[in-house]
Structure 1
Amino acid sequence: MTGVAAPATAFASQAALVAEEPAPVDMGPAEETVNTAPPAEPEEAGLETPTEPDPIETGKPPADTESGDYCGATQRVYIPTSKGGTYHEGVGPTNSNYNGTSRVVRSTFTSEVTGEVGVSVTAGLAPSIDVMIAKLEAKYEVNLSAKLTAKLGNTVSVDTPSKRSTSAKYGVYRLKNTGTSYSVYSNCTSSAKKTVTSYSPLKVGWYLWES
């Protein structure tokens, strides 16, 4: 028997507030990994979709500046400092199937919408998103994207035990990271260092849980 999933609850907004730091989700294959609880919402209060930084200033400082030093074009710096967990951002509704029989059945879920999930970052990132992603990829040996699309029609199947419910969310897994960012100006002075928290798309996939 195959249970066809029906919409349950809409996915939580990207800016949802949580009381405590959520636990990262299991990154195993969706077909093999069935969790015991819904995906934890990332702590994204104050995060935003980043914009490109202002053009880099390349000229020498004015003659009447306190420092006559010249350090070249403005350098925008980002240094990853702490790798966090991986969090699932749902696209579309949560689907669920209850097995009321006395034996194991196969539940099949199909994504119902197409949606895009991008980078979120706190204010203070000095360089571009592409620069930040390149730094993260080099440090942690992962492949990240500025945005990924979860598409309509993707299907996953999983066994549902007797008298149990299986729920499924389709979306994008994102890597959390904390880093330090600042600018070094042409007159050799630096801006204040800021701690930047980011969530960067890692891969598209399902999150499954049983209750």
Structure 2
Amino acid sequence: MRTPKAALLVPAIAVVLLAGGGPALADDSVPATNDNAVATAPPDQPEEADLTEGAPDTPAPAPSDDEGADIPSGRVCEAGWYYYPTTKKNKDYQKGVGAEQSNYNGTPHTAQSTFVSDTTGTVGIAFSGEFKVTAKQLVTEEEAKFGVNLSVSLTAKIGNSFSVATPSHRTTTARYGVYRIKAYGYSQYTHANCVKGTKKNATVYTPRRVGWAMWES
């Protein structure tokens, strides 16, 4: 029995194979996942044009212009910046690691396309707007708010593979990377006398899982 031939359209460094086996996941610290459905278009990308990659390791200094900060008070608080997520968990957005890979099936039959990640990369938190707290504080507050496990950063590793059926005369495109949840919130400084300062709004993307995004055209 002859194996159907297919035209392969892939980046030079990518590895895309036609195979009969199922998914084979590499030994990642965080298992790769997929949505078990091939989309008809690439996944949505963040809308923010001013998105900044990487949350600060140390919080910003205390603001100097907050009214009431020096007013005596019988209450005592631990001074510092605090983060407050204000929305329910939003959908995931994927940040790709490595090149997109495409496979065109030029045969009259359905064929298995196996995509293999060709590089290793770490994806961290990203945000837009004013953001004053550390990444660790942000993750702690969002996990409590949303009831999900999040990370300051996740690593998508080389060698992870996934297989999917490509229909006749169709192209399957795959991208490996890290999915991040989108949330709105703000950071606010609390003074030692418990007076709160001005809110600093931010939209935050926080790593949640490693996985493949696939779409067909």
Tell me which residue corresponds to 2:38. Answer: 34
Q: Of residues 74, 82, 98 in structure 2, which corresponds to 1:77?
A: 82
Distance 1:185 1:5 in 2: 58
Q: How many percent of aligned residue pairs carry the same amino acid? A: 42
1:43-101: CA deviations, max 9, x gaps? 232232221334887xxxxxxx8522363431422111113221111111110011111
Distance 1:40 1:52 in 2: 28
Q: CA RMSD in A?
A: 2.6
Tell me the TM-score normalised to structure 2 length: 0.76
Question: Is the aligned partner of 1:111 residue 2:140?
Answer: no
- SS at the partner of 1:97? strand
- SS at the partner of 1:93? coil
Tell me which residue corresponds to 1:22. Answer: none
Question: Is the aligned partner of 1:88 residue 2:73?
Answer: no
Tell me which residue corresponds to 1:47. Answer: 51
- SS at the partner of 2:145? helix
Letter in 2 for 1:163: H
Letter in 1 for 2:11: P
Letter in 2 for 1:139: K
Q: Using the TM superposition, give the Cα deviation of residue 167 of structure 1 relative to its aligned residue in structure 2, in angstroms.
A: 0.6
Runs of at least 5 residues in structure 1 that lack an aligned partner in the other structure: 11-28, 58-64
Q: 1:133 to 1:31 in 2, by over 3 A?
A: closer
Q: 1:31 to 1:132 in 2, by over 3 A?
A: closer
Question: Is the aligned partner of 1:196 residue 2:202?
Answer: yes
Q: What are the equivalent positions in structure 2 for 1:125-164 lying under 5 Å apart?
A: 125-164=131-170
Letter in 2 for 1:130: K
- SS at the partner of 1:134? helix
Tell me the TM-score normalised to structure 1 length: 0.78
Distance 1:55 1:93 in 2: 36
- SS at the partner of 1:138? helix
Q: Using the TM superposition, give the Cα deviation of residue 41 of structure 1 relative to its aligned residue in structure 2, in angstroms.
A: 1.4
Letter in 1 for 2:55: P
- SS at the partner of 1:166? strand
- SS at the partner of 2:118? coil
Runs of at least 5 residues in structure 2 that lack an aligned partner in the other structure: 15-32, 63-68
Q: Using the TM superposition, give the Cα deviation of residue 129 of structure 1 relative to its aligned residue in structure 2, in angstroms.
A: 1.3
Tell me which residue corresponds to 1:174. Answer: 180
Q: 1:98 to 1:175 in 2, by over 3 A?
A: same
